[in-house]
Chain A
């Protein structure tokens, strides 16, 4: 985080939409975007797991942002962002990937205190855009290994 803020004047963010909210992930962290791949459900998997997707000859475990935020299912097929995590690659299921936005560190603010605890733990803060907010996501916080630990702690 701090590294990003200290860097250049502008940061490139890959914006994604889930429900009504616009989220952003630093472009540099995204390994690949899979357009609406088929996902395969895993019975008995933790709640936040969105299923398996085929990625370069390997089986990719995906995290569903909707399930993480306890939102109803999307209804149509979703896009996947691929990140590198502690335990190899993992995917993040979002409704739709949209354009790359440039934001300035000056427009960054931390999570508001009124946000619920679950979201506070998941979101890294927000950028003020001209016509709305871009909620910053930090792939490290969405790593399935970390999410499992978090679930265990809260349980």
Chain B
């Protein structure tokens, strides 16, 4: 394919996308001149170029459309649902031919006569209808926003016989088309099309640079004259990485833009009335991720309309507006983009979900009786689940929410669902900003390093050699651990990887509690290293076949590590679906009988505590890593600074409990972490005032570390690179 044709294809596709958007808007504003001019321009451009390139089918079709659009644009006709439907199917026909050209270089076979005739007919019938309009009102259609034409019947007679104009004649008529605004011209000048392969290559190289930087930062250590330079390298690398990542970003409107049409078509098909509201379309996401969420998102929107929004009469009976609302909202939250699909429909009917799950034998009756409403809702993520009464064109074809979840988790994201009966359902997709660089925890198994993506990691449990022997329980060959009273299936990484033959294992261990595709299990590893941002390198097909690794990476110390795939490990180890959610469990624990849970720590000889819900993570760090800044002890951590409260712990290593204090993070350095316990508030004798910063833990008065008194950092000098 020559460059000219390729350029033409890209331009035409963009034009048609724009046309589609405009057409759906036109339904609301049938007389908007700007919209009409925009649509006209898209079709006109296609027609002009096709004549030149010799694509005759395209030219004929575009020509027929252009005639009709010309009348609309000049206000000689008013768009109605019928016309818009016809124009939408014209758009589909044009798209079909474009994709033929893209695939084979030629337009392909097809009979366009019916389409052309349909457009022609509309032109004529509209003119007739208009002439008759005063006496005979057109039959009522479902769509509102139908206005009577402004012009009198007289002018139409002049306009209605459309001349069989040739391309060149229409070119002469061109000056009527409003010129594109200045702003548009400017964007065109300041942007540039870049080949996606080149961008991928740049991203790869930046990844390489990040690696080299990590290695340099680890080596520099004490060499003071290099510290400054390495800091700069650190900053420049971070900035460069951000810039390249930005270049790959596209606004979510690229995916959102096809929904107005889809919602319109679906609503018509299902005889429902649906309004689509979109927010945050300018939110940006990596192009490859945008591609990856297209299907899950489409499915979610379909679901919202098919299962969520009720039929108009039911809505009215429930005292709601007959027109339902589906809301698409995108926003950034930290290093994630959240996309919400919410509807104001009937909400999920928990009983129906349970019955369906029982009918399809996805759960047992005993189990169903134990589940809470929230847990029952999670059942929709099970493979093979569908509540659709009948298999329609729209949903119920077995491609269900499990596919949505699998697809989203494949790219390191998460799916959450929230539903209230009678009020509606919200589906929340959490998508990481980028794929190429992921935060991971480095774990050891038999001396070899592996990277565990942090997206799937929910917590870490340390077992001493003694605990590893006594607290891991066996049930006929299946290892289990009691995590807060519930049994957690365990997978031994070393035996899974056949790094050891016999079942017995010695020494201390860590349980990485993972949550992958709704399956919860503990992965037993020998040791942990620092979390690191890793650059994902693909594996060759031969090694991909092993099925447990999603890639490889080079660590800061120059060593290579394979990246573990938590979902694949769960599958291989036959881990079943867990129905409880993590957060849920913690919230429940936190509010149990009015007491708060505290993390009990030892600092020096004294006991201290912090509320458990404030704790983000716990780290063992060499004392030497503590630095001082303006009299405040700080820790440099993944490129950001953590203010520290040192409670006078001793020893080579210290334990840092990273806590949340409002929106900032602070660290509390202690000798060791002891336990988690329920604390009860204490009252001052006599006054009955609740005592501050003191609680009763294990029947002992324990001081609560006041997080808010940890001095803030001078913000201007704070160098946040991640």
Interface presence of A145 (CB below 8 A): yes
- How many angstroms from the CA of A90 to the CA of B539 in the assembled complex? 11
A19-67 with Cβ < 8 A to chain B: 38, 40-46, 49, 52, 54, 57-59, 61
Interface size, chain B (Cβ < 8 Å): 27
Interfacial chain A residues near B558, Cβ < 8 Å = 38
Interface hit among B157-165, B293-301, B546-554: B546-554
Interfacial chain A residues near B554, Cβ < 8 Å = 54, 59
Cβ contact within 8 Å between B546 and A44:
yes
Of the residues A40, A88, A90, contact of B560 by C-beta under 8 Å: A40
Cβ contact within 8 Å between A40 and B204:
no
Cβ contact within 8 Å between B541 and A145:
yes
The range of chain A's interface size is 20 to 34
Among residues of B, the one whose C-beta sits closest to the C-beta of A56 is B208
Among residues of B, the one whose C-beta sits closest to the C-beta of A86 is B541
Closest Cβ of chain B to A37, distance in Å, is 10
Cβ contact within 8 Å between A40 and B559:
yes
Among residues of A, the one whose C-beta sits closest to the C-beta of B535 is A57
Closest Cβ of chain A to B135, distance in Å, is 74
Of the residues A38, A43, A144, contact of B499 by C-beta under 8 Å: A43
Among residues of A, the one whose C-beta sits closest to the C-beta of B540 is A61
Interfacial chain A residues near B475, Cβ < 8 Å = none
Interface presence of B392 (CB below 8 A): no
Cβ contact within 8 Å between A44 and B542:
no
Closest Cβ of chain A to B99, distance in Å, is 29
- How many angstroms from the CA of A144 to the CA of B546 in the assembled complex? 14
Interface presence of B498 (CB below 8 A): yes
Of the residues A40, A42, A59, A87, contact of B541 by C-beta under 8 Å: A87
Among residues of A, the one whose C-beta sits closest to the C-beta of B544 is A87
Interface presence of B543 (CB below 8 A): yes
A117-153 with Cβ < 8 A to chain B: 144-145, 147-148
Cβ contact within 8 Å between B539 and A43:
no
Cβ contact within 8 Å between A44 and B560:
no
Interfacial chain A residues near B499, Cβ < 8 Å = 43
Among residues of A, the one whose C-beta sits closest to the C-beta of B539 is A59
Q: By DSSP majority rule, is chain B's interface helix, strand, loop, or mixed?
A: mixed
Interfacial chain A residues near B498, Cβ < 8 Å = 43-44
Of the residues A38, A41, A87, contact of B542 by C-beta under 8 Å: A87
Cβ contact within 8 Å between A59 and B546:
no
Cβ contact within 8 Å between B560 and A49:
no
Closest Cβ of chain B to A119, distance in Å, is 21
B172-188 with Cβ < 8 A to chain A: none
Cβ contact within 8 Å between B546 and A88:
no
Closest Cβ of chain B to A143, distance in Å, is 9
Among residues of A, the one whose C-beta sits closest to the C-beta of B562 is A42
Closest Cβ of chain A to B198, distance in Å, is 15
Of the residues B205, B207, B541, B548, contact of A44 by C-beta under 8 Å: B548
- How many angstroms from the CA of A30 to the CA of B693 in the assembled complex? 70
Cβ contact within 8 Å between B539 and A61:
yes
Interfacial chain B residues near A41, Cβ < 8 Å = 448
B384-443 with Cβ < 8 A to chain A: none
Among residues of B, the one whose C-beta sits closest to the C-beta of A58 is B537
User: Given A61-B542, A148-B542, A52 and B548 touching (CB < 8 A)?
Assistant: no
Interface presence of B538 (CB below 8 A): yes
Interface presence of B228 (CB below 8 A): no
Cβ contact within 8 Å between B546 and A42:
yes
Closest Cβ of chain A to B65, distance in Å, is 46
Interfacial chain B residues near A44, Cβ < 8 Å = 497-498, 546, 548
Among residues of B, the one whose C-beta sits closest to the C-beta of A85 is B540
- How many angstroms from the CA of A88 to the CA of B541 in the assembled complex? 9
Interfacial chain A residues near B551, Cβ < 8 Å = 59
Cβ contact within 8 Å between B204 and A59:
no
Interfacial chain A residues near B537, Cβ < 8 Å = 57-59
Of the residues B205, B497, B559, B561, contact of A43 by C-beta under 8 Å: B497
Among residues of A, the one whose C-beta sits closest to the C-beta of B542 is A144
User: Given A54-B560, A57-B208, A45 and B543 touching (CB < 8 A)?
Assistant: yes
Interfacial chain A residues near B497, Cβ < 8 Å = 43-44
- How many angstroms from the CA of A88 to the CA of B207 in the assembled complex? 20
Closest Cβ of chain B to A40, distance in Å, is 4
Cβ contact within 8 Å between A46 and B542:
yes
Interfacial chain B residues near A38, Cβ < 8 Å = 558-560
Given contacts A43-B498, A45-B542, A148-B545, 4 further A-B contacts (CB under 8 A): A38-B560, A43-B497, A57-B208, A87-B541
Would you mind naming 6 contact pairs between A and B with Cβ atoms under 8 Å apart?
A: A42-B543, A44-B498, A52-B543, A61-B542, A87-B541, A144-B540
Q: List chain A positions with a Cβ less than 8 A from chain B.
A: 38, 40-46, 49, 52, 54, 57-59, 61, 87-88, 90, 144-145, 147-148
Q: List chain B positions with a Cβ less than 8 A from chain A.
A: 204-205, 207-208, 448, 497-499, 537-543, 545-546, 548-549, 551-552, 554, 558-562
**6 closest residue pairs by CB, A with B:** A43-B497, A40-B560, A61-B540, A144-B542, A59-B537, A59-B552
